[in-house]
Amino acid sequence: MNAADYLKLLEKRDPDALSDLPLVLERGTIFENKGALPDDDIYRLLICNEDHLGVIADKTFQGDLLPILLQWILSAPSDPCGTLLFALGKAIPKSYAPLLRELMAESADNWSEEDRYQALIAFENALDDEDIRAVFRQDQSIKATLNDLFANTGRNAEIAGRILRKISITQS
């Protein structure tokens, strides 16, 4: 299956395509980072529809998909919202980090604790990239969001604290 056909399935909210989205994005991110697709043996065990292994979710595909995914997250009830946030975190960090920042500022106060957890994990993973950390070091708005919305409960407070440390000015 090619990327355009897969995107059409996603737009129709095909259950298998949606379930496989994190794996498809993860494979595409590995492809972008390493220049080659990963061994699909593990993916064959996890994926709902093996045709989706034919999708190469490269930077172009992800650039087309992520704005759509952003709109779905903004309009999703809580149950699929966490799943969509999990999928977002499997994309290319430089592609999704600005979108996730926008989402967190716009919607996090309406999310469940689980949705917030998924967003925090995705955000923290993006910060493995020094360029992304540098951008967010200057972003007072995201720091305020993290302090206000995420720092008041157990595991979310722990992750928010790690993120704040990673984007502190003194961090190198």
Q: Which residue has the tokens 């305020």?
A: 144
Residue 158 one-letter amino acid: E
Q: Report the pLDDT value the prediction gives residue 151, as an integer from 0 to 100.
A: 65
Residue 2 one-letter amino acid: N
Q: Are residues 116 and 164 located together in one domain of the fold?
A: yes
Q: Report the pLDDT value the prediction gives residue 171, as an integer from 0 to 100.
A: 47
Residues of the chain falling short of pLDDT 70: 77-79, 149, 151, 153, 169-172
Q: Report the pLDDT value the prediction gives residue 73, as an integer from 0 to 100.
A: 87
SS (H, E, C) 122-155: HHHHHCCCHHHHHHHHCCHHHHHHHHHHHCCCHH
Q: Are residues 143 and 100 located together in one domain of the fold?
A: yes
Instruction: Report the percent of the chain where pLDDT is more than 70.
Output: 93
Domain that holds residue 3: 1-57
Q: Report the pLDDT value the prediction gives residue 93, as an integer from 0 to 100.
A: 94
Per the structure, how many domains does the chain have?
2
Cβ of 98: how many Cβ atoms within 10 Å?
14
Q: Are residues 105 and 169 located together in one domain of the fold?
A: yes
